């Protein structure tokens, strides 16, 4: 028995049909697979790139936020410093004069008008002593804007302790003290700057001789009161 041979497929005239071989189909499938792989790789690269850019953007945003906060803090601190200085200048712009009693030599000193002043006469070690401070005076405070006194010791004897402190080495408990020549109301004396005592670590003291006594004027905080202190000492009038 003979197997009939089928005639080859012949395209119908006017139709889009064309015979496709298995090799052609495999080639198309391979091309499609490669295309899908390429698209997948591109998608992965795009995804990773997006994450990287997102992280960089987040870091930059955080840095900008931190810089903004730091700038705002610095600006606030600068404004506070400017306001404090303006307030201090306003307090110091108008003055009043204190004149000591005759037994204390009738010396005079000009103080900011808004400052409080406390006078203590005839103590065992002083003929008269005083403390002054902006607004109110806390008698238990460790530091004051201004101190002045007429001390019942000779200039040479009283300054000995401070002179010894200038020779001490700087240490964690002692920040150092320097001395230099100074003139107060035309009288030559000594100026000490630095750690005056355990509690006063950044102050200034000026000592001058007044007969058998010593006139002392001091600020306990150079960082805050140095400018007004210089103005005050320029106004002191002593009677040697």
E-assigned strands of the chain? 95-99, 108-112, 115-121, 126-134, 146-151, 177-184, 187-194, 203-210, 213-219
User: Domain-by-domain residue ranges, the chain?
Assistant: 26-93, 94-235
Res. 8 pLDDT band, cuts 50 70 90: low
pLDDT of 112: 96
User: What confidence tier does 2 reach under pLDDT thresholds 50, 70, 90?
Assistant: low
94-235 belongs to CATH 3.10.180: no
* Pairwise CA distance, residues 148 & 163, whole Å: 19
Angular region, 87: left φ>0, alpha ψ -120 to 50, beta rest: alpha
Q: In the predicted model, is pLDDT for residue 101 greater than 70?
A: yes
Average pLDDT over residues 157-164: 96
Residue 82 has what pLDDT? 73
What's the rounded mean pLDDT across residues 142-170? 96
Residue 45 has pLDDT above 80, yes or no: yes
Q: Is pLDDT above 90 for 201?
A: yes
Higher pLDDT, 187 or 53: 187
């Amino acid at each position: 028995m003979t197997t009939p041979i089928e005639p080859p497929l012949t395209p119908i005239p006017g139709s889009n049909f064309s015979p496709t071989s298995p090799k052609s189909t495999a080639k198309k499938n391979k091309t499609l697979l490669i295309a899908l792989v390429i698209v997948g790789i591109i998608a992965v690269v795009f995804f990773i790139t997006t994450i990287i850019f997102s992280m960089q953007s987040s870091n930059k945003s955080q840095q900008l936020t931190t810089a903004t906060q730091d700038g705002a803090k610095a600006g606030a601190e600068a404004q506070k410093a400017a306001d404090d200085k303006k307030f201090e200048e306003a307090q110091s712009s108008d003055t009043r004069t204190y004149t000591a009693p005759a037994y204390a030599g009738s010396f005079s000193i000009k103080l900011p008008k808004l400052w409080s002043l406390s006078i203590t006469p005839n103590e065992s070690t002083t003929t008269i002593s005083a403390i002054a401070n902006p607004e109110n005076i806390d008698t238990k405070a460790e530091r004051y804007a201004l101190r002045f006194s007429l001390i019942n010791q000779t200039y040479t004897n009283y300054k000995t302790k401070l002179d010894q402190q200038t020779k001490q080495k700087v240490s964690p408990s002692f920040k150092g003290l320097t001395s230099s020549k100074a003139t107060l109301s035309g009288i030559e004396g000594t100026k000490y700057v630095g750690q005056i005592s355990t509690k006063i670590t950044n102050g200034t003291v000026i000592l001058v001789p007044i007969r058998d006594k010593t006139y002392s004027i001091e600020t306990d905080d150079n960082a805050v009161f140095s400018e007004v202190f210089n103005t005050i000492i320029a106004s002191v009038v002593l009677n040697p």
